[in-house]
Chains A and B, each alone.
Chain A
Amino acid sequence: MARAVTQKRKLIATLAAWTIGMAIFFPILWTIITSFKTEAEAIADPPSLFWFDWTLENYNVVNERSNYPLHFMNSVIISLGSTLLGLIIAVPAAWSMAFVPGKRTKDVLMWMLSTKMLPPVGVLIPIYLISRDLGVLDSRLALVVILTLINLPIIVWMLYTYFKEIPGEILEAARMDGATLKSEILYVLTPMAVPGIASTVLLNIILAWNEAFWTLNLTAAKSAPLTAFIASYSSPEGLFYAKLSAASTMAIAPILIMGWFSQKQLVRGLTFGAVK
């Protein structure tokens, strides 16, 4: 009897999980399906889910009009570059806060988080002027640095949480064995925190990939990533839903595939330390 109840519960839980999962994924699925429709079919009422004349026309138009490889490479460089730079700064910062906490460590952490509370547009003009004076407007370098700074609080917070779970005694043991600070972080701490670091990296890449304020406002022709590529197909006066969907599908496909393959690490990392 007890077994039957468990089975029933399992079934309900599975069904609920699938329902929620599909509800979350449906807008993406709809975008992908719309990208294979004509503009007329894209606005048809009632809409057709699968039974329409599938066409690659939108992808052809998008490829003809835009330089997708350039935008794609810009996205890759900006998201990987900012993540790597962020990690180089955040690992020592999180180490010091987790293992050598001071009286004000909690305040520092909160202060770092508070920088995320400022609406980005509030600092648009100062950052624009600084970029102009440094001659880095429309450059990938400027975006790498800015996205690093924007995502740094999140990286530090996540790493801090993971590092806190690692017993300090292990690091002490390494020190007693003569490990320097550098080798302690590099060869003892980092390997133990790999799941946490991996999920931090993945999350940060996704955040940087989707960032659509600075990447739109500080770029022009040379360093514009995929966010600008999508923005060139949205229009308040003209129905280009099918083309916009094709551009969106091309923009999200790489990150979607990356997320798919690394979901195990992501889930493991995000739940790391959640259950004690």
Chain B
Amino acid sequence: MKTTFRGLLGATALCTVAGIASAETLTIATVNNGDMVRMQGLASEFEAQNPGIELEWVTLEENILRQRVTTDIATNGGQYDVMTIGTYEVPIWGAQDWLLSLNDLPAEWDADDILPAIRGGLTVDGELYAAPFYGESSMVMYREDLMAAAGLEMPEAPTWEFIRDAAAAMTDRDNEVYGICLRGKAGWGENMAFLTAMNNSFGGKWFDEEWNAQFDGEAWSNTLNFYIDMMNESGPPGASNNGFNENLTLFQTGKCGMWIDATVAASFVSNPDDSQVADSVGYALAPDNGLGRRGNWLWAWSLAIPAGTDSPDAAKAFVQWATSKEYTALVAANEGWANVPPGTRTSLYENENYVDVPFAQMTLDSINSADPTNPSVDPVPYTGVQFVAIPEFQGIATAVGQQFSAALAGTTSVEDALANAQALTTNEMEDAGY
């Protein structure tokens, strides 16, 4: 009896050890925005479908996450099996062979369903290096009541000229209402994301085909002068300190007539729990100057698998699940169609349940009007609408952003800011061997 009991105990222990040994743990690094947090909540479904795979989450603020995963992948640290990265990182990391190609994901995942603009930004030499989780562009959000009070009507596709005039007409400084709120805080992902996209619509670019900086050209001068004149005339005080969150606060508390920023903001400003102006927000495409390019950007948070992962198959299974049509249906069933991750698949915008979601069509049109492989009016040697997908860009654009932010604050002139931007960009690019 004793022997049998011992035998049973031993067998149970062995089974337990074998069970532990066969369970694969995936460490997933992700940003802390609403869609990602929702995925974390629904991931138990994936674990239920894949009993051999356990998920561990590392959720972080975007800039800290970027620093951490970049350190890890550049040193082949192997801490993560799945990383959430943006359209800036994918072309650079893909070209370095730091990521696993996702071309071999099964046919039912339906790669052809991914929006062409998004897919183009995640592909290097024909290899898809990341699966888009959600995509976003930028657009005009405006107060319909203030626009009507100014006797104006917002066209679906406004020009910069209209935006400037409407902003002036809506401004009522005595009541702390400012016609236009735009990013002014220095940073490659702050004011430079907006200004680079705006410059595209003014016919400008960062570099010509020989990688020469273009800040001494007419387009950048027109862009920066227009932006600063408009902000001085109709923007809020202290705009050079304002980023996404500051402008969101201003807009939600009724202090902005118009705000041009990420399409993801639409879900915040239209939410009556958070926004005092939720019932009077309208949307329009980002402005243009009639040159064939709009001032909107393109970004996709995507899931990628570092080449150094120990669990490539499990990681692919997770990426496939999280970016599939089935996942979209799962979110819709649990949290409603308004909460499904937007901007990645054509089929979502053909879905009759999604058509009624406000700002859905505007998001799609905005994404479709941006082309990361051909962002400007003239041909350019780089990929990226509001960025240039080279490793040096973060540092250069943040330094240029400081110059432009200072020009907005009035501590330097537009001419000096452009001259300094030209000099520092040229130096950095020469040092980098361009």
Cross-chain contact A238 with B34 (CB below 8 angstroms)? yes
- B residues 37-67 with Cβ under 8 Å of A? 37, 40, 56-64, 67
Name the B residues within 8 Å of A128 (CB-CB): 71-72, 75, 77
- Residue from A216, A228, A238 having most chain B Cβ neighbours under 10 A: A238
In the complex, the chain A residue whose C-beta lies closest to that of B245 is A239
A265 → chain B, closest Cβ, in Å? 34
Docked complex Cα distance between A128 and B79 (Å): 11
- A residues 206-253 with Cβ under 8 Å of B? 216-217, 220-222, 224, 228, 231-240
In the complex, the chain A residue whose C-beta lies closest to that of B185 is A236
The yes or no answer to A65 lying at the interface (CB within 8 A) is: yes
Name the A residues within 8 Å of B199 (CB-CB): none
The yes or no answer to B221 lying at the interface (CB within 8 A) is: no
Cross-chain contact B60 with A232 (CB below 8 angstroms)? yes
Name the B residues within 8 Å of A125 (CB-CB): 71, 74-75
B398 → chain A, closest Cβ, in Å? 14
Docked complex Cα distance between A39 and B264 (Å): 17
The yes or no answer to B402 lying at the interface (CB within 8 A) is: no
Cross-chain contact B253 with A237 (CB below 8 angstroms)? no
Cross-chain contact B264 with A217 (CB below 8 angstroms)? no
Interface-located stretch among B25-33, B211-219, B341-349, B381-389: B25-33
Cross-chain contact B33 with A221 (CB below 8 angstroms)? no
Name the A residues within 8 Å of B100 (CB-CB): none
- Binary CB contact string for chain A from 172 to 196 against chain B (1 if under 8 A, 0 otherwise): 0000000000000000000000000
- A residues 124-141 with Cβ under 8 Å of B? 124-125, 128-129, 132, 137-138
Docked complex Cα distance between A229 and B67 (Å): 16
Known A-B contacts A44-B253, A125-B75; A216 and B68 likewise in contact (beta carbons under 8 Å):
yes
Cross-chain contact B79 with A137 (CB below 8 angstroms)? yes
Known A-B contacts A40-B273, A217-B68, A217-B71; A233 and B32 likewise in contact (beta carbons under 8 Å):
yes
From B59, B64, B253, contact of A216 by CB (8 A): B64
Cross-chain contact A232 with B59 (CB below 8 angstroms)? yes
From A43, A124, A220, A233, contact of B29 by CB (8 A): A220
Name the B residues within 8 Å of A221 (CB-CB): 27, 56-58
A interface, over-half SS: loop
From A132, A236, A238, contact of B78 by CB (8 A): A132
The yes or no answer to A45 lying at the interface (CB within 8 A) is: yes
A152 → chain B, closest Cβ, in Å? 24
Cross-chain contact B75 with A235 (CB below 8 angstroms)? no
The yes or no answer to B80 lying at the interface (CB within 8 A) is: yes
Interface residues on B, range: 35 or more
A1 → chain B, closest Cβ, in Å? 51
The yes or no answer to A58 lying at the interface (CB within 8 A) is: no
The yes or no answer to A38 lying at the interface (CB within 8 A) is: yes
Cross-chain contact B77 with A236 (CB below 8 angstroms)? no
Docked complex Cα distance between A18 and B193 (Å): 45
Cross-chain contact A235 with B32 (CB below 8 angstroms)? yes
Name the A residues within 8 Å of B74 (CB-CB): 125
- B residues 74-118 with Cβ under 8 Å of A? 74-80
- Binary CB contact string for chain B from 1 to 39 against chain A (1 if under 8 A, 0 otherwise): 000000000000000000000000001010111100100
B395 → chain A, closest Cβ, in Å? 13
From A43, A224, A237, contact of B252 by CB (8 A): A43
Name the B residues within 8 Å of A231 (CB-CB): 60-61, 64
Known A-B contacts A39-B274, A45-B253, A128-B77; A238 and B60 likewise in contact (beta carbons under 8 Å):
no
A121 → chain B, closest Cβ, in Å? 9
- B residues 132-188 with Cβ under 8 Å of A? none
Known A-B contacts A224-B58, A232-B32; A239 and B248 likewise in contact (beta carbons under 8 Å):
yes
B82 → chain A, closest Cβ, in Å? 12
Name the A residues within 8 Å of B58 (CB-CB): 220-221, 224, 228
- Residue from A40, A216, A235, A237 having most chain B Cβ neighbours under 10 A: A237
Cross-chain contact B56 with A236 (CB below 8 angstroms)? no
A163 → chain B, closest Cβ, in Å? 39
Name the A residues within 8 Å of B75 (CB-CB): 125, 128-129, 132
- Binary CB contact string for chain B from 228 to 270 against chain A (1 if under 8 A, 0 otherwise): 0000000000000001110011001100000000101100100
Docked complex Cα distance between A235 and B245 (Å): 9
The yes or no answer to B120 lying at the interface (CB within 8 A) is: no
Docked complex Cα distance between A235 and B189 (Å): 13
- Binary CB contact string for chain A from 35 to 75 against chain B (1 if under 8 A, 0 otherwise): 00011100111000000000000000000010000000000
Docked complex Cα distance between A122 and B389 (Å): 24
Cross-chain contact A237 with B71 (CB below 8 angstroms)? no
Docked complex Cα distance between A243 and B33 (Å): 13
Report B's interface with A, CB cutoff 8 A: 27, 29, 31-34, 37, 40, 56-64, 67-68, 71-72, 74-80, 189, 243-245, 248-249, 252-253, 262, 264-265, 268, 273-276
Report A's interface with B, CB cutoff 8 A: 38-40, 43-45, 65, 124-125, 128-129, 132, 137-138, 216-217, 220-222, 224, 228, 231-240
A-B contact pairs, 10 of them (CB 8 A): A45-B249, A128-B75, A132-B76, A137-B77, A137-B79, A220-B27, A231-B61, A232-B60, A235-B33, A239-B274
A44-B253, A234-B61 known; 9 other A-B pairs, CB under 8 Å? A65-B37, A137-B79, A222-B56, A231-B64, A234-B32, A237-B265, A238-B268, A239-B252, A239-B268
Which 4 A-B pairs have CB atoms at the shortest separation, nearest pair first?
A: A221-B56, A232-B59, A234-B61, A220-B79
